[in-house]
Amino acid sequence: MDNIKEVAGRAPGKLILCGEHAVVHGSTALAASLGLYTQVRIQTPTAETDPDGHLTIDLRDLNVLLQWPIQRIEAAFKPLEEFVVDPLCVKSCSSDIMQCIASLVNEEDFPEAVFGVSTGVSAFLFLYISIVGFKSATVIVSSDLPLGSGLGSSAAFCVAVSGALLALSGALDLDALQGSWLSLKQNNREIVNKWAFEGEKIIHGRPSGIDNTVSAYGNMVKFKSGHLTHIEHIFPIRMLITNTKVGRNTKALVAGVAERASRHPKAMSAVFDAVNAISEEMADIIQAPFSDDASISAQEGKLEELMEMNQGLLQCMGVCHPAIKAVLQTTSRFKLYSKLTGAGGGGCVLTLLPKLLSSKMIEKVKVDLESQGFQCFLATIGGEGVQVSFQCTSA
């Protein structure tokens, strides 16, 4: 019998092509996975390497290392009369559970620069204790994604953590091949996605579920009121991603849009309806057949117009930022169309790069944006969703 020595999970970030924020209020949105991943490695110690039992989490991107004795975690959860550890029974983090988690997290003195880390740590502890219980482990998290920039790092974190923990618990139906990344079966993706959504709730407050869904399933999805439709994405889409490097927090931005919607219910409902129509049209264009460069250019022209309209409506929702406007102005000087992606308020902006745009011109746009202090990159769109891998030792 083999003993699991290390389990890893990895999950991609995402681009929202259309419909962010409105999707929280029931509109359709369109998103694609990104070829940038968050990786979570879980090492299980032996009685010799950790005789007293600890849970250690090493958040490499934030330079934060936390450790709790397992007994301390058990003591924190003692007030809960019934706390069920069951990887197959997905539950929400109740206020009682959150109080126990807060008693552990509040003991930590996070540096000011990593404000926001406590919600990620709380989500991690909730998932860990719910899925594997009061067991020792060292968990190492690292990501290719910029955190808090609209590319779904929170969802990639929750999906990768859930995938790795479910694999460790034995709840996934896998043909374990050591060392290689394993794709999950549909029913396994579903349970990873459900747990990740519960984690994302702790980080976002009121998530739509689109980010964790596209991270779990990969490729391109259309999403509305919790329902996912896979999009056949044969149309070639190239996007330049520009990170304004203005930090922001999704939870606060989502709450701000909800407040605006409660102040102006009729006007905002019209805004959300318009976004719904734009997302539906965009999905149709992406799935429509195309024959030659001329038909591609015609479809790109429509996508550009829809992106411009979506950006205008995001401004109506109050989630733009002067840095985002600076990116829009710069790219429009090159006759390119852009929109913010994710929660806005800073973060990343997408610019559609038409198929016939030369690499020399793309370079010029990048140089201009980077001279203003922004960071530009191209990334592949529509890759694999969550994957797991194992390293075992023979007992």
Ligand X SMILES: C[C@@](O)(CCOP(=O)(O)O)CC(=O)O
Place of tokens 């000011």: 112
Report the amino acid identity of residue 45.
Answer: P
Residue 213 or 250: which CB sits closer to Mg ion? 250
Q: Under the criterion CB under 6 A, does residue 343 sit at the interface with ligand X?
A: yes
Residue 115 or 297: which CB sits closer to ligand ADP? 115
Interaction pattern, residues 138-157, with ligand X; x per rule: CB under 6 A: ------------xxx-x---
CB 223, min distance to ligand X, A: 8
Residue of 33, 100, 8 lying closest to 381 (CA atoms): 33
Query: Do 362 and 376 meet the contact criterion of CB atoms below 8 Å apart?
Result: no
Q: Has 211 been annotated as catalytic?
A: yes
The residue from 211, 273, 292, 368 that is catalytic is 211
Task: Report residue 187 as tokens.
Answer: 């029913």
Stretch that binds ligand ADP, among 75-83, 116-124, 169-177, 372-380 (CB under 6 A): 116-124
Q: Under the criterion CB under 6 A, does residue 203 sit at the interface with ligand ADP?
A: yes
Q: Under the criterion CB under 6 A, does residue 154 sit at the interface with ligand ADP?
A: yes
Q: Under the criterion CB under 5 A, does residue 299 sit at the interface with Mg ion?
A: no
Task: Decide which of ligand X, ligand ADP, Mg ion, none touches 61; Cβ closer than 5 to 8 Å per partner kind.
Answer: ligand ADP
CB 155, min distance to ligand X, A: 7
Number of residues that bind ligand X (CB under 6 A): 17
CB 343, min distance to Mg ion, A: 7
Contacting positions for ligand ADP (CB under 6 A): 38, 59, 61-62, 116-117, 119-120, 141, 143, 147-154, 157, 203-204, 249-250, 342
